[in-house]
Amino acid sequence: MYLRYSSLLALLLASGAASAATLSVGPGKTYTTPCRAFAAAKTGDLIEITGNTTYSGDVCAIYASRLTIRGVNGRPRIDAAGKNAQGKGTWVVVGNDIVIENVEMLGAKVPDANGAALRLEGTNFTLRSAFIHNNQNGILSGVKTASNILIEKSEFGYNGGGTGQTHNVYIGNVGRLTFRYNFSHDANVGHNLKSRARVNMIAYNRFSSTPAGQTGTTAAGKPSYEIDLPNAGTSYIIGNVIHQPSSHNNPNMVAYGAEGASNPGHELYVVNNTFLNDDSTRGNGVLVGSGVTKKIFLQNNLFAGTGTLTNQSGAIQKTNYRALAPGFVNRAAFDLRPTANPLVINAGSTPGISATGVSLKPTAVYKHSASSAVRPVVGALDIGAYESAL
């Protein structure tokens, strides 16, 4: 009986795999635009979009589930160009279990000023190796407490409509957000990352902005929070570079529970991050809202510049280091490996595990741009997001 059931299951799986199709998009391909391929796609299909090509005004909803949408032979450029789908943005992701890889998206703008390059309405979503910039919102998701969102190895820049209500990335009340190996910078008045998720794993990213008057991959922005977790939640901030530019819209770099700690978990673990504050008169690393019921946990963090590490009285603090100008290999170039300092090198304490059994030990480092490398620990952990150059 077991063998008969196993054979039937294998047959069904093979049949499903065989029925999945690859839909090719681009000049001279079966589908001239991504949206035409989305409309034809069936569950489980792969959509390959020819890169180094601009698809202008190609806006639509994606209804099929379990799609993989991938730029190939370069990165395709999806420019909303004044158009929108359903009054919501460029691509409205309605299907479940969608994966999008290697695309550039810009220009999302709608009349209510809340447009998004990617508007997430389905359950479960992955974005990988993308460049999302110059939209009212980069990503905007709704309430889906059963949904898990993974965003990795992607760049977000100069998203936000200038109202403070739109952001580089804005995740609603979902089950879990994993945000890792990303470069999120220069949000236009809004936040570089805002998440109402019940569980947040924010690890090995760079949150920063360009000095006023300069440009990088986007124009310079004046962000508010670098990371905003407005409803608390069980959250991990591990191994990140968190940089506040001299020109900004809020002196707090990370905010936790500031809009009311309505999520069920109130545990925040902030471990082995490097905070850089370029405001010479004020600054606060972690702002904690009054509704948070538990003391936050801060370990092995390096805070460079003026200000305080946190406003929470009684926060649990272990082997953190704060100085106006701790030594880095090349601060201007963001080579933030510490130079000789016995209060930083081998001065970290060994992180344990969270109350729910998650290891707090950093195992990687952010590598520019929007990538990662293994953290090469020799001896005890160094304080901050990087190990010593020595």
Among 352, 297, 336, 339, which Cα is nearest to 320's?
297
Q: How far apart are CA 101 and CA 318, in angstroms?
A: 39
364-367 and 371-374: which strand pairing? antiparallel
Q: What single DSSP character describes residue 219?
A: B
Q: What single DSSP character describes residue 382?
A: P
Among 344, 386, 381, which Cα is nearest to 365's?
386
pLDDT digits (tens, 9 = 90+) for 189-206: 999 999 999 999 999 999
pLDDT digits (tens, 9 = 90+) for 281-332: 999 999 999 999 999 999 999 999 999 999 999 999 999 999 999 999 999 9
Evaluate if residue 247 carries a pLDDT over 70. Answer: yes
| Averaged pLDDT for residues 95-112 | 98
DSSP readout, 43-68? TT-EEEEESS-EEET--EEE--SS-E
**What's the pLDDT at 9?**
46
**What's the pLDDT at 12?**
46
Distances in whole angstroms, Cα of residue 91 to Cα of each of 198, 208, 292: 25, 27, 36
| Averaged pLDDT for residues 24-32 | 98
| End-to-end alpha carbon distance in the chain | 63
| Averaged pLDDT for residues 159-188 | 98
| Averaged pLDDT for residues 145-157 | 98
Q: Could you count the other beta carbons within 10 Å of the beta carbon of residue 280?
A: 11
pLDDT digits (tens, 9 = 90+) for 42-96: 999 999 999 999 999 999 999 999 999 999 999 999 999 999 999 999 999 999 9
With cut-offs at 50, 70 and 90, classify the pLDDT of residue 213: confident
Q: What single DSSP character describes residue 306?
A: S
The strand pairing partners of 371, in sequence order, are 367
Ranges of H-type helices in the chain: 2-19, 34-40
**What's the pLDDT at 249?**
94
With cut-offs at 50, 70 and 90, classify the pLDDT of residue 7: low
**What's the pLDDT at 2?**
38
pTM (two decimals): 0.95
